[in-house]
Structure 1
Amino acid sequence: MSFKDYEPFRVDAGGVEIAGMKGGDRPPLLLLHGHPQTHEIWHKCAGELAKHFTVIATDLRGYGASGKPESDTHHTPYSKRAMAGDQVAVMRHFGFEQFLVCAHDRGARVAHRMAMDFPDAVDRLMLLDIAPTLAMYDATDREFATANFHWFMLIQPSPLPELLIGGNPDAYIDRLLGSGQAGFAPFAPHALRAYRDAFAAPGAIFATCEDYRASAGIDLEHERADLERGMKIACPLRVLWGEQGVIGRRFDALDEWRRVARDVSGRALPCGHYIPEEQPDMLLAEMLAFFEADAP
């Protein structure tokens, strides 16, 4: 499967250009990738999904071919609130006021914020291999910090992490992608090349560091404010995680999401972190069952 018959696009989302691929002609479905990837993470699912949905697969702000704006001392331009606003602007550009969302990793953090800030926009939400940001930071210990070393490396003040990663960005990408039990086997050569090339683009390393710096600061403030106000994700939420990954080993994913969402279901899949590339057929079955549940 691939993005054959999809069309590339660039949309001005209020000062930041968001790039992506669009295909199909059915109910709208927004796909959001994670770190250190791009929309290419969906390439094994894209062809089949376009038979059922109008698929919008974007590169997040700061990733892939999307814009990489300058930041500020609070990392506000890379807050999940700003990144969620980008995605809503893209969907509105194509005429979609309400839509389905499936999001992995960092994209799931953006989708979480989107469901809170734009509750009328998100009809149904599927999140892949993630727990709420605050829950993961609160659970940090030596084992977690070792497995997720990049969380704490990327948030160091600029330019230290940018300089360190910039010395050999392919080595950094390969460490993250190849560290699971499956190694590099799930990743198609063209996808690996796309991830490496995107990360080597000017401004990409700074942007991804800013993404993580925001999650360690302003994003946590937003999550705490939600909890204090008793705000929860209102739409149906389906959570899937890899039983071999950090979420499967260290978290009760359903319990964590039920703290911040009203209607939660989900299960583990036999894989690691990169579900769309490790278990695309299982993911497709889950997506069709969940997203078409209310279809006439």
Structure 2
Amino acid sequence: MPVLLEEALEGLAIKPEGTYVDCTFGGGGHSRGILERLGPEGKLIAFDQDQDAALNVPADDRVLFVPQNFRHLSRFLRLHGVTEVDGILADLGVSSHQFDEEERGFSTRSEGDLDMRMDQRQSLTAAGILADYGEPELHKLFERYGEVTNSRTLSRKIVEVRRVMPLATIPGFMQAVSGVVKGNPKKYFAQVFQALRIAVNDEMGALQTLLEQMPAALKPGGRAVVITFHSLEDRLVKQFFKTGHWEEVADDHPFESNRPESPFTVITRKPVLPTEDERKRNPRSRSAKLRVAEKK
């Protein structure tokens, strides 16, 4: 079920003859909405690194599917002779399919291995991180990407446990560290799993790379629409749309005027949130935030 579908389509301001990119095709929900608004001359370029996503691509001559991570946006646009596009959509959430497939290892309810790879061609898994990362690396990972309150204690416990047994399965890992869980176990493990997933898939690095490529990939007046699911992502998107760079500078910074102007006009001063009805219908949408910017 695509999150914030109507809001995303409205944000793209779709032209029937335009060319649009769906950076995270997944189940194809957002792409179907775009195609419904495109005319026969329109074009949709869909990216997804998950090989299962290819099974959902419609038999439509207007669709070009690229089985790659969206961080390679510019490279594959050039490869297919596309210089600029009218809109780019990125829904950064894990797809329902990935959560529901136990062997993918994304869900705390899974009985499977600690995998969490969105691109199953890569070698790094969550189990690999738990086996190989040092205690300081694990601490930083859980603190930064999961905001886990006792990330230092958790990291110490992981290093202690793995000396005597491998942390390879989801139930095994959760049981092994259960003694250090703070607060609501469901929320705690959701934060831990989020941190592992972000690290396995280099999600923050991929998002930064995508955002940096957007200005050159968009036509003047073209729209960028990004749906985020946690504060780290949202802050990155907000910062880049507003300023066109990553460094946060105080308003009274004496060198502020020397910085280049942002290539974007921010359309959404505040993030667009799901309606109460959508949150009830699709609980996974609860943390979603949508931001829109237009290329100057």
Instruction: Return the TM-score normalized by structure 1.
Output: 0.33
